[in-house]
Chains A and B, each alone.
Chain A
Amino acid sequence: MDLNFSPEEVAFRDEVRAFLVAHLPEDIRDRVRRGDDRNVSDDLRRWQRILHAHGWAAAMWPVEHGGTGWDKTRQYLFEIECAAADAPIQLPFGLKMVAPVIMRYGSQAQKERFLPRILDGSDWWCQGYSEPGSGSDLASLKTRAERDGDHYVVNGQKAWNTLGQHADWIFCLVRTDPAAKPQRGISFLLVDMKTPGIRLQPTKLLDGGFEVNEVFFDNVRVPVENLVGEENAGWTYAKFLLGHERTNIAGVGASRRELARLRRMARECRREGAPLIDDPLFATRIAQVELELKALEVTNLRVIFAEARQQAPGPEASMLKIRGTEILQRISELQVEALGARALAYEEDVGGDGEDVPRAAAQYMNLRKLSIYGGSNEIQRNIIAQTILKL
Chain B
Amino acid sequence: MDFAFTEEQQMLQDSIRRYLESGYGLEHRARIIAGDEGWSPRTWAELAELGLLALDIDEDDGGIGAGPVGTMLVSQATGAGLLVEPFHSSAVLATRVVSLLAQGERRGQLLDALGSGEAIAVLAHEEGDGWDAPLETTAVSEGEGWHLRGRKACVYHAPMAHWLLVTARCDDGVGVFVVERGADGVDLRAVRTLDGQRAADIALDARLPPDARLGAGDATAALEQSLDRGIAALCADALGVLDRILTATVQYARDRAQFGTPIGRFQALQHRMADMYMQVEQARSMTYCATSACLQDDPASRREAVSAAKVIVGQAARRVGQEAIQLHGGMGMTDELDVSHCFKRLLAFELRMGTTDEHLRRYREAAQADAA
Which among A204, A336, A371 is the interface contact of B351 at CB below 8 angstroms? A336
Give chain A nearest CB distance to B127 CB in angstroms: 10
Task: Kindly list chain A residues whose C-beta atoms are within 8 Å of the C-beta of B334.
Answer: 203-206
Quick check: is A353 within 8 A (CB to CB) of the other chain?
no
Alpha-carbon distance A200/B348, docked complex (angstroms): 33
**Which of B191, B335, B358 gathers most chain A CB within 10 Å?**
B335
**Could you say which residues of chain B place their CB within 8 Å of the CB of A376?**
326, 329
Residues of B within 8 A of A134 (CB): 258
Select which of A203, A342, A378 is within 8 A of B269 by beta carbon: A378
- The answer to whether A345 and B259 touch across the interface, beta carbons within 8 angstroms, is no
Q: Given contacts A135-B330, A160-B330, is CB(A340)–CB(B133) below 8 Å?
A: no
Q: B292 contacts which chain A residues (CB < 8 A)?
A: none
How far, in whole Å, are A130 and B131 apart by their CA atoms in the complex? 45
Q: A368-B332, A372-B329 are in contact. Are A342 and B153 (CB under 8 A)?
A: yes
Q: Decide if B258 touches A136 in the complex (CB within 8 Å).
A: yes
Contact mask A104-144 → B, CB, 8 Å, 1/0? 00000000000000000000000000100011110010000
Cβ distance B109 to chain A, nearest Cβ, rounded Å: 32
Asked if B130 and A345 make an inter-chain contact with CB atoms under 8 angstroms apart, the answer reads no
0 or 1 for each of B26-50: is its CB under 8 Å from A? (1 = yes): 0000000000000000000000000
* Complex contact A345–B126 (CB within 8 A): no
Can you pick out 18 interface pairs between chain A and chain B where the beta carbons lie within 8 Å of each other? A130-B330, A135-B329, A136-B258, A136-B259, A204-B335, A204-B336, A205-B340, A206-B333, A206-B344, A340-B131, A341-B126, A342-B153, A342-B154, A343-B194, A345-B154, A345-B191, A345-B201, A377-B326
Asked if B357 CB lies within 8 Å of chain A CBs, one says yes
B193 proximal to A (CB < 8 A): yes
Q: Is the CB of A273 within 8 A of B333?
A: no
The reply to whether B333 and A271 form a contact with Cβ atoms under 8 Å apart is no
Contacts of A345 in B (CB 8 A): 154, 191-194, 199, 201
**CB of B301 within 8 A of chain A?**
no
| CB of B351, distance to nearest CB on chain A (Å) | 5
A27 to chain B, nearest CB (A): 27
Of B128, B195, B329, B357, the contact of A342 (CB 8 Å cutoff): B128
Residue pair A372, B132 in contact (C-beta under 8 Å): no
Instruction: Tell me whether B282 is interfacial, beta carbon within 8 Å.
Output: no
Q: How many residues of B contact A (CB 8 A)?
A: 48
Please name all residues of chain A whose beta carbon is closer than 8 Å to the beta carbon of B318 when the two chains form the complex. Answer: 333
What per-residue 1/0 map shows which CB atoms of A356-381 lie under 8 Å from chain B? 00000100110011011100111001
Query: Could you tell me if A344 and B336 are in contact, using CB atoms closer than 8 angstroms?
Result: no
Find A372's partner among B258, B326, B348 (CB 8 Å cutoff). Answer: B326
Q: A45 to B356, alpha carbons, bound, how many Å?
A: 42
Q: Which residue of A lies closest to B191 (CB)?
A: A345
Give the complex CA separation of A273 and B135 in angstroms: 10
Most buried by B among A140, A273, A368: A368
CB of A270 within 8 Å of the partner chain: yes
Interface size on A, residues (CB 8 A): 46
In the bound complex, CA of A364 to CA of B318 (Å): 12
Query: With A135-B330, A204-B336, A281-B361 in contact, is A271–B193 under 8 Å at CB?
Result: no
Output the residue of A340, A341, A343 with the most chain B CB within 10 A. Answer: A341
**Chain B interface main SS type:** mixed
Min Cβ gap B52→A in Å is: 25
B333 touches A368 (CB 8 A): yes
14 further interface pairs, Cβ-Cβ under 8 Å (given A342-B154, A347-B191): A135-B258, A136-B259, A140-B260, A206-B325, A206-B344, A270-B130, A271-B130, A272-B130, A337-B357, A340-B130, A340-B355, A344-B193, A344-B199, A364-B347
Q: CA separation between A381 and B348, bound complex, in Å?
A: 31
| Known A340-B351, A343-B194; contact A368-B325, beta-carbon cutoff 8 A | yes
CB distance from A37 to the nearest CB of B (A): 16
Known interface pairs A203-B334, A342-B154, A344-B199. Does A137 touch B343 (Cβ–Cβ under 8 Å)?
Answer: no
The answer on a CB contact under 8 Å between B347 and A361 is yes
Binary per-residue interface labels of chain B (178-192) against chain A in the complex, 1 for a CB within 8 Å, 0 otherwise: 000000000000011
Residue numbers of B with Cβ under 8 A of A are: 126, 128-134, 153-154, 191-195, 199, 201, 258-260, 266, 268-269, 318, 322, 325-326, 329-330, 332-336, 340-341, 343-344, 347-348, 351-352, 355-358, 360-361
Q: Of B131, B259, B260, B269, which contacts A341 at CB under 8 A? A: B131
Is there an interface contact between B258 and A344, defined as CB atoms closer than 8 Å? no
In the complex, A316→B259 CA distance in Å? 24
Find chain B residues with CB under 8 A from A336 CB: 347, 351
Inter-subunit contact A368/B322 (CB<8 Å): yes
Report the Cα distance A373→B332, complex, angstroms.
12
A160 to B336, CA, bound (A): 14
Asked if A282 is at the interface of the complex by the 8 Å CB criterion, the answer is: yes
Given A135-B258, A205-B333: A344 and B325 interface contact (C-beta under 8 Å): no
Alpha-carbon distance between A140 and B153 when the two chains are bound, in angstroms: 51
- Please, which residue of chain A has its CB at the minimum distance from the CB of B192? A346
Q: Say which residue of A130, A272, A281, A347 sits within 8 Å of B133 (CB atoms).
A: A272
Measured between alpha carbons, how far is A381 from B341 in the docked complex, in Å?
Answer: 28
The yes or no answer to A44 lying at the interface (CB within 8 A) is no
- Pair A159/B134 contact, Cβ less than 8 Å: no
* Cross-chain contact of A343 among B326, B329, B351, B360 (Cβ < 8 A): B351
Residue numbers in B under 8 Å from A381 (CB-CB) = 268
- Residues of A near B322 (CB, < 8 A) are 368
